[in-house]
Amino acid sequence: MTVLSRTEIEPAGGVALWRQIADAIRLDIVGGKLETGDRLAGELPLAERFGVNRHTVRRAIAVLVEEGVLRAEHGRGTFVAEARRLSYPIGRRTRFSEGLAGQTKQRARTILSSRIERATARLAERLDVKPGTRLIRVETVAFADGRALSRATGWLPEQRFPEYPAVLAETGSTTEALKRYGIDDYSRGSTRISARHATTDEAQVLKLAPGAVVLVSDAVDIDAAGVPIHTLLTRFPADRMELVV
Amino acid sequence: MTVLSRTEIEPAGGVALWRQIADAIRLDIVGGKLETGDRLAGELPLAERFGVNRHTVRRAIAVLVEEGVLRAEHGRGTFVAEARRLSYPIGRRTRFSEGLAGQTKQRARTILSSRIERATARLAERLDVKPGTRLIRVETVAFADGRALSRATGWLPEQRFPEYPAVLAETGSTTEALKRYGIDDYSRGSTRISARHATTDEAQVLKLAPGAVVLVSDAVDIDAAGVPIHTLLTRFPADRMELVV
DNA sequence: CCAACTTGTATAGTGGAATAGACAAGTACG
DNA sequence: CGTACTTGTCTATTCCACTATACAAGTTGG
């Protein structure tokens, strides 16, 4: 049973060996090579496979145990505690709550903050308004089954959506909130997907180790007439979520 | 001129400070906050902003200079050498060469290797064949203007596409190669997008620093009748490419 | 020319990452 | 029971990331 592919780890690059090893093991778990309850190879075999000292492997495992991904049992071995990665669908009619239905028991969204901002050139182009237009900026976090799944920043023109944060807080759903403004239907214009290391702010809110990878989705929603409603910058923890087109 | 947001950098996490800083600066560049030719803030102001020593900032800059992202001039300052991130469209009819047309002058694909493999349960499900079916596995790298843009692994059923690697090498294009087998049209079934740190193999082939982030696209192409043709696992360097849905 | 900025270089000290080896303590199996 | 495996703990050592300070050397503008 080849538990891990013979991934050789190089010494440097600014990323500690123990972190590279932790990432490699986590990858085998969320990638499906290891399933919940499976027993990991022993520390000594793993150390040999990665070409490092046993203590370096131990540190990597300690991090994954801390994260809740692995579970170590004295004298028996180390086991996979939790494996699955959630899939978030992306399409014309993406709805947050529907997308994850069936994958999680409970879902929730929290508004971190909101404020008025002037449209930069970039935002103005996206929302098809004049630069300097007053926009509402809303910062949110989404949870499912107690784990943070996304950190999003949204912008809407204030003129069309006055008091939006209050309405969103009251309804708890983007779809419902937009209905209050007479928008019965909306769809996704374009989505740009990229990836990068998490910022310290994101790492804090999403409870990630610094240096973790986030998937970034930059989307624009449009109404039935094709007019941009709001633009949304969402960051997903790459080890917990994948996007499905 | 706020060249960089006041991103505070935390000490540890297994990722070196200089790497976190390099990532932060690169993010400002590919994210559009800094454009080609712009002057970066001085090393001392940067060090103060990140809360680190000047030498730590210097090391981060040295890496970006090495990558060709920045250009340092003695006595004058440090400047952005190259900014733009390429956009790779994802849709029903994704064609590699068309997708990047207009963004690059020259494009090329190299076949690294190919071999026969037995379908695992996972691959069998994707290609709608029995587990153990003989598959052709093709490893490729794509370049544009001399820079590596993607590292892909493809699987096709051998029975339907005998000698595929030779045909692909001869035609140089997936679309053309498939025509030889009577497939005039094909489209994308589903695409799953995730992100993670690059493996050492990927870092080598794509010429990335170890610890760099890759976008991973896992797709299935189907013919006009809806039968799976081939499945493709593509890794893009996240700092050079973004995916557009 | 000179003052005030910039990047480049050198040296020295501190703390953490990684290695090495030895041993304690739990579990499984004949 | 006892052997062979496992994870857990300790100590010592080497190497590099990071800090701190100082100064060289290029550029710009008055």
Instruction: Provide mean pLDDT across the span B17-42.
Output: 86
Q: What does the pLDDT average to over A54-68? A: 89
The pLDDT-based confidence of B102 (bands split at 50, 70, 90) is low
Q: Which helix (H) or strand (E) holds B22?
A: helix B17-30
* Stretch 212-231 of chain A: residues touching chain B, C-beta under 8 Å: 213-215
Which of A133, A157, A143, A130 is closest to A231 using CA atoms? A157
- Which residues of chain A make contact with B209, given a CB cutoff of 8 A? 13-14
Shortest-distance nucleotide from B14 CA to C1' = C17
Q: Which amino acid is at B61?
A: I
- A134/B183 Cα distance (integer angstroms): 52
Predicted pLDDT at A3: 34
Region of poorest pLDDT, from A206-210, B78-82, B85-89, B129-133: A206-210
DSSP β-ladder status, B134-144 and B107-118? antiparallel
Residue A51 has pLDDT above 80, yes or no: yes
Q: Which residue has the higher pLDDT, B171 or A3?
A: B171
Task: Indicate whether B105 pLDDT > 70.
Answer: no
Across chain B, mean pLDDT equals 84
Statement: the CB of B52 is under 7 Å from strand D: yes
Sheet holding B147-157, edge to edge: A86-89, A241-244, B186-197, B213-223, B228-237, B147-157, B134-144, B107-118
| Residue matched to tokens 């009577």 | B182
Compute the mean pLDDT over every residue in chain A, rounded to the nearest whole number: 84
Topology of domain B86-244, CATH? Chorismate lyase (3.40.1410)
Would you place residue A96 in the very low, low, confident or very high pLDDT band (cuts 50, 70, 90)?
Answer: low
Q: Which of A185-189, B13-17, B159-163 has the lowest mean pLDDT?
A: B13-17
Residue B21: other Cβ atoms inside 10 A:
27
The yes-or-no verdict on residue A209 having pLDDT over 50 is: yes
**A234 phi and psi angles, rounded to 5 deg:** -110, 135
Residue written as token pair 């079934």 = B189
- Mean pLDDT confidence for A138-166: 91
Q: How far is the CA of A53 from the C1' of D14 (A)?
A: 14
What pLDDT, on a 0 to 100 scale, did the predictor assign at position B94? 66
pLDDT of residue B15: 81
Distance CA A143, CA A243 (A): 16
The Cβ of residue B156 has, within 10 Å, a number of other Cβ atoms equal to 25
Report the percent of chain B where pLDDT is more than 70.
Answer: 88
Question: What is the reported pLDDT for A166?
Answer: 92
* Chain A closest-CA separation from residue B79 CA (Å): 22
Among A97-106, A155-164, A165-174, top mean pLDDT goes to: A155-164
Task: Tell me the pLDDT band of B88, cut-offs 50, 70 and 90.
Answer: confident
Percent of chain B with pLDDT over 90: 41
The confidence score (pLDDT) of residue B95 equals 65
Measure A9 CA to D23 C1' (Å).
40
Assign 3-class secondary structure to chain A.
CCCCCCCCCCCCCCECHHHHHHHHHHHHHHCCCCCCCCECCCHHHHHHHHCCCHHHHHHHHHHHHHHCCEEEECCCEEEECCCCCEEEECCCCCCHHHHHECCECCEEEEEEEEEEEECCHHHHHHHCCCCCCEEEEEEEEEEECCEEEEEEEEEEECCCCCCHHHHHHHHCCHHHHHHCCCCCCEEEEEEEEEEEECCHHHHHHCCCCCCCEEEEEEEEEEECCCCEEEEEEEEEECCCEEEEC
Is it the case that residue A123 has pLDDT exceeding 60?
A: yes
> Are B20 and A15 in contact, with CB atoms under 8 Å apart?
no
How close is the nearest chain A Cα to the Cα of B170, in Å? 31
3-state secondary structure (DSSP) of residue B95: coil
B242 touches chain A (CB under 8 A): yes
Stretch A126-154: mean pLDDT, rounded?
A: 91
Q: Average pLDDT in the B44-61 region?
A: 92
User: Lowest-confidence range among A7-11, A158-162, B70-74, B78-82?
Assistant: A7-11
Give the side-chain half-sphere CA count within 13 A for B186: 24
C1' (D22) to CA (B54) span, angstroms: 14
Which helix or strand (DSSP H or E) is residue B164 part of? Answer: helix B164-171
Question: Quick one: tokens of A4?
Answer: 């891990």
May I ask the CATH class of domain B17-80?
mainly alpha
Enumerate the residues of chain A whose CB falls inside 8 A of the CB of residue B85. Answer: 194
Cβ distance A192 to B20 less than 8 Å, yes or no, reads no
Say if strands A107-118 and A186-197 run parallel, antiparallel, or are unpaired: unpaired
A28 in B contact zone (CB under 8 Å):
no
Could you state, in order of their start, the residue ranges of all structural domains in chain B? 17-80, 86-244
d(CA A142, CA A103): 14
A42 touches strand D (CB under 7 A): yes
pLDDT at B124 over 90: yes
- The mean pLDDT value for A83-92 works out to 77
Per-residue pLDDT at B200 exceeds 80: no
pLDDT score at A7: 47
3-state secondary structure of B73: strand
The β-bridge relationship of strands A134-144 and B134-144 is unpaired
Say yes or no: B94 contacts chain A, CB-CB below 8 A: no
Q: How far: B51 CA to D19 C1' (Å)? A: 12
> Mean pLDDT across the stretch B160-181?
89
Instruction: Using CA coordinates, name the residue in chain B closest to A241.
Output: B194
Partner-chain contact B194 A85, CB within 8 Å: yes
**CB atoms A14 and B13 under 8 Å:** no
Work out the average pLDDT over A53-58: 94
B55 touches strand D (CB under 7 A): yes
A194 interfaces chain B, CB cutoff of 8 Å: yes
Q: What percent of chain A has pLDDT over 70?
A: 88
Among residues A103, A218, A189, the alpha carbon closest in space to that of A149 is found at: A103
**CA atom of B19 to C1′ atom of D23, Å:** 27
Strand C nucleotides in reach of protein CB atoms, 7 A cut-off = 5-11, 16-21, 25-28
Confidence band, pLDDT 50/70/90 cuts, at residue A83: low
**How far apart (Å, rounded) are the C-alpha atoms in residues A106 and B216?**
28
pLDDT for the residue numbered A58: 94
The answer to whether some atom of strand D lies closer than 7 Å to the beta carbon of A10 is: no
pLDDT at A128: 92
